[in-house]
Amino acid sequence: MISLPVVLGVAALLFAVGVYGVLSQTNTIMVIMGVELMLGAAMLNVVGFLRYSWPEAASGSFFVLVIMTVMAVEAAVGFALVVTVFRHRRTAELDDLTGLGD
């Protein structure tokens, strides 16, 4: 019915959706959402491996835990950056944020 390549294929599609989001969106928060989808795909991969290839490897579950934490922290740091940038530049649009200087 379901096998490892199927799970990995679905995860690949989810990752592709995330890639599209990161590349096509102009707003920083939408880009963060794309990154979240990509991390979600990574988690799905690991869970697929856990189910179909290495059921005994608890370090895989541990890795998923770490990815979940990274998702939260990535969002938190991203929001903090957006707040700072918005405070100085009054925008969160990536096309307006091209220079490092001012």
Partner 1 sequence: MNDLGTALVFWPTAAIMLATGVYVFRTASMARAGLLLLASLAVEGLIFLALASEFLGTLQLLMMSGEMVLMVFFMVMFMPDPGGLMGMDMTHDKRRAQGAAVAVGLALALLAVLTDWPAGTIDSDAVDVRAIGFEVMGRSMFTFLFAGMTLMFTMIGATLLAKQGGRHGVGPPAGELRDADGEGG
Residues 51-90 that bind partner 1 (CB under 8 A): 51-56, 58-59, 61-62, 64-66, 68-73, 75-77, 79-84, 86-88, 90
Question: Using the 8-state DSSP alphabet, how is residue 92 labeled?
Answer: -
Nearest to residue 101, comparing CAs of 89, 92, 91? 89
By CB under 8 A, is residue 96 in contact with partner 1? no
CB 61 within 8 A of CB 55: no
Cα(17)–Cα(15) distance, rounded to whole angstroms?
5
By CB under 8 A, is residue 97 in contact with partner 1? no
Q: Which two tokens stand for residue 26?
A: 């102009």
CB 96 within 8 A of CB 89: yes
Rounded least distance, CB 100 to partner 1, Å: 16
Rounded least distance, CB 59 to partner 1, Å: 6
Over the window 11 to 50, marking each residue x when it contacts partner 1 by CB under 8 A and - when it does not, the resulting string is xxxxxxxxxxx-xxxxxxxx-xxx-xx--x--xx--xx-x
Rounded least distance, CB 72 to partner 1, Å: 6
